[in-house]
């Protein structure tokens, strides 16, 4: 054998040397960080999704389903929203009427106080009675309107009952009973 040639055993020994070596686990992360810093890699890139017909059909089907679902949801939720807005308007209107009624009641109570405060004989008894009747009638009419506008509200009905019980005249019953009552608001 010359020095320039390998024996078959030598050749085999050299060729059988392992060609691969497992890298340290940190090396990959170190390298990725370096490549990010170099601007070669971008963080958070999603893997590319290969185009296939089943995948494309699934995407189209999902899109159609989303469109139809959105349309159906809109059709269903539109009227629901309108109803909600109507209810809100009614509530708002009720509050406004109740406020007006409260103001009218307060004015009535004030008028009664004035009547009470009037010295005896300062006015004719008939004039006082007429004034009281006008006030009660005004309050009854207002309450009656509330009862017609919001029939389910108990407040108006209770007021009418109180007015009737207290000697006021209901709108349909205008006959004078001669009783005197005080209304509290």
Partner 1 sequence: METQPAFVGTDNDLADAVLERGSETAFRELYRRHTPRLLGFVTRLLARSDAEAEDVVQETWIRVCKGLGDFRWNSAFSTWLLGIGLNVVRDVIRRNTRHPTLELDSVAPQPVPPIRHDDRIDLERGIQMLPDRYRMVLVLHDVEGIKHAEIARRLEIPEGTSKSHLAKARKQLRASLSGGEIEGDRS
Provide, rounded to whole angstroms, the least separation between the CB of residue 70 and partner 1. 31
Regarding 22 and contact with partner 1 (CB under 8 A), the answer is yes
Query: In 81-102, which positions are buried (b, 16+ CB within 10 angstroms) versus exposed (e)?
Result: eeeeeeeeeeeeebeebeeebe
d(CA 167, CA 180): 6
Total residue length of the chain? 185
Task: Name which of 19 and 75 has its Cβ closer to partner 1.
Answer: 19
Binding mask 49-88 for partner 1 (x = CB under 8 A): -x--------------------------------------
Torsion of CA 29, 32, 33, 35, to 10 degrees: 160
Candidate ranges 35-43, 60-68, 101-109, 129-137; the one touching partner 1 (CB under 8 A): 35-43
Q: Report if residue 10 touches partner 1, rule: CB under 8 A.
A: yes
The gap from C-alpha 3 to its chain's centroid, in whole angstroms, comes to 94
Interface residues toward partner 1, by CB under 8 A: 3-4, 6-7, 9-32, 34-36, 38-48, 50
């Amino acid at each position: 054998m010359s020095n320039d040639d390998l024996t078959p055993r030598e050749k085999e020994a050299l060729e059988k040397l392992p060609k691969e070596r497992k890298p340290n686990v940190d090396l990959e992360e170190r390298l990725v960080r370096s490549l990010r810093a170099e601007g070669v890699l971008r963080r958070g890139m999603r893997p590319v999704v290969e185009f296939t017909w089943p995948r494309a059909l699934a995407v189209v089907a999902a899109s159609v389903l989303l469109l139809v679902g959105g349309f159906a949801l809109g059709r269903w939720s539109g009227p629901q929203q309108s109803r909600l807005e109507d209810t809100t308007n009614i509530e708002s209107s009720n509050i406004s009427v109740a406020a007006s009624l409260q103001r009218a009641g307060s004015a009535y109570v004030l008028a009664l106080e004035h009547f009470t405060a009037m010295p005896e004989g300062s006015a004719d008894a008939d004039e006082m009675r007429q004034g009281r009747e006008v006030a009660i009638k005004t309050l009854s009419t207002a309450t009656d309107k509330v009862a017609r506008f919001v029939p389910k509200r108990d407040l108006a009905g209770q007021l009418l009952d109180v007015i009737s019980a207290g000697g006021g005249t209901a709108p349909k019953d205008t006959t004078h009973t001669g009783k005197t009552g005080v209304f509290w608001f």
